[in-house]
Structure 1
Amino acid sequence: MAAAKLLKNTRDKKMVAFKFNMFVFVAIVASMTFCSSAMEHMVGDDSGWVIPENPDFYTDWAANKTFTVGDTLVFDFYTGLRDVTPVIKEDYDSCSVSVPGTTIKTGPATLNLYIPGDHYFICSVEGHCLFNQKLAIYVVDNDSSN
């Protein structure tokens, strides 16, 4: 009789522990989902990645957005007509590519933002960058504890 009661108490304690652990697990998953709400930014919104009519188009587009580590940029363009090339500031300013092999020629291109700081992108198709098909953004670190 005492053994049966002890067994029941042990099962009850295990059930309580299981329910508590499940509660903690669900709370952790929910908080991770809430805290890690990575955004997907469609560069240029409905216009896509094109030679803009307005020379400040991409500057204006980026100005009202917050880019965070974990977000993605989607450059929507037709393969063969445009490309996207991550570049350093000097290449952005001069519309050149000093590091070959970084150009993404297949559209749409999705780039993950995993490093905080300044990021620069150009279209390396001849003349496109000179006609302002370029984007400069600042990416903030999503770890607000630092």
Structure 2
Amino acid sequence: MTVVFIGFITSSCANRFYVGGEDGWVEKPSETYTHWAARNRFQINDTLVFKYKKGEDSVLVVDEMDYDACNISKPKDKMEDGYSTFVLERSGPMFFISGVPGKCRNGQKLCIVVIASRDKKGTPYQPPSIAPAASPVASPAHSPAAETPSASYVLSVSGASVVMGVIAVLLGLF
């Protein structure tokens, strides 16, 4: 019951990602946006936060062709308030570039891949099936070295590992 509850809590939480970390949305960050994006895992309902100087920059949501060409003339969306938030509402690739001419070509552009939600409502959890252990061909009867762990033992050990991993992650968040 505890595992299900913890799993539900972690799967229903959306995250906020501050684009560029401490640098924010700038022309020459200390870490490239490609590297920053690769370190993160984006899911539906997560939020991207772009911090930049209002009046000196903006964020454009563009398609892949405009991203590759750094074309600022036909954005799908434009954000320019200096502290812009963008909720990730669908899975798949998303493309962002600076709205200031030249900054995109200097690396101020971001491509992320949004993955589907952690849980699918209405789909019951199906634990992985465990194949039966193969019997040894010519082993002496009741040899302790030839015995294999039972499926329930394997499940309890792997289940305990999952619980410990989830608890470690949750403790790391606080």
Query: In the TM superposition, what are the counterparts of 1:55-74 in structure 2 within 5 Å?
Result: 57-74=32-49
> Contact (CA 8 Å) 1:95, 1:124: kept in 2 or not?
no
Gaps of 5+ in 2: 124-174
Is 1:124 the counterpart of 2:95? The answer is no
- Does 2:19 align with 1:43? yes
Q: If the length of structure 2 is used for normalisation, what is the TM-score? A: 0.61
Q: Name the counterpart of 2:57.
A: 82
Cα deviation, 1:89-129, whole Å, max 9, x if unaligned, reads 00000001353572111111000001100000000111111
How many angstroms does 1:70 deviate by? 0.8
Q: What residue identity is the alignment partner of 1:62?
A: A
**Aligned partners of 1:48 and 1:31: how far apart in 2?**
31
Structure 2 match to 1:10? none
- SS for the counterpart of 1:118 is strand
Structure 2 vs 1, CA of residues 43 and 144 (structure 1 numbering), >3 Å: closer, same or farther? same
What does the per-residue CA deviation read over 1:11-43, in whole Å, with 9 as the maximum and x for residues that have no partner? xxxxxxxxxxxxxxxxxx987543211110000
In terms of fraction of residues, the more helix-rich structure is 1
Aligned to 2:168: none
Q: Please list, as runs of the form range in 1=range in 2, the aligned pairs for 1:107-118 lying within 5 A after superposition.
A: 107-118=82-93
How large is the RMSD of aligned CA atoms in angstroms? 2.4
CA contact (8 A) 2:61 2:76 kept: no
CA apart distance, 1:63? 0.6
1:99 has 2:74 as partner? yes
AA matched with 1:136: C
Q: How many Å apart are 1:72 and its aligned residue?
A: 0.2
Higher relative contact order (CA 8 A, sep 6+): 1
Aligned 8 A contact 2:24 2:52 in 1: yes
Number of equivalences = 118
Cα distance in 1 for partners of 2:88, 2:109 equals 17
1:64-100 C-alpha deviation (Å, 9 max, x unpaired): 1100001000000111111000000000000013535
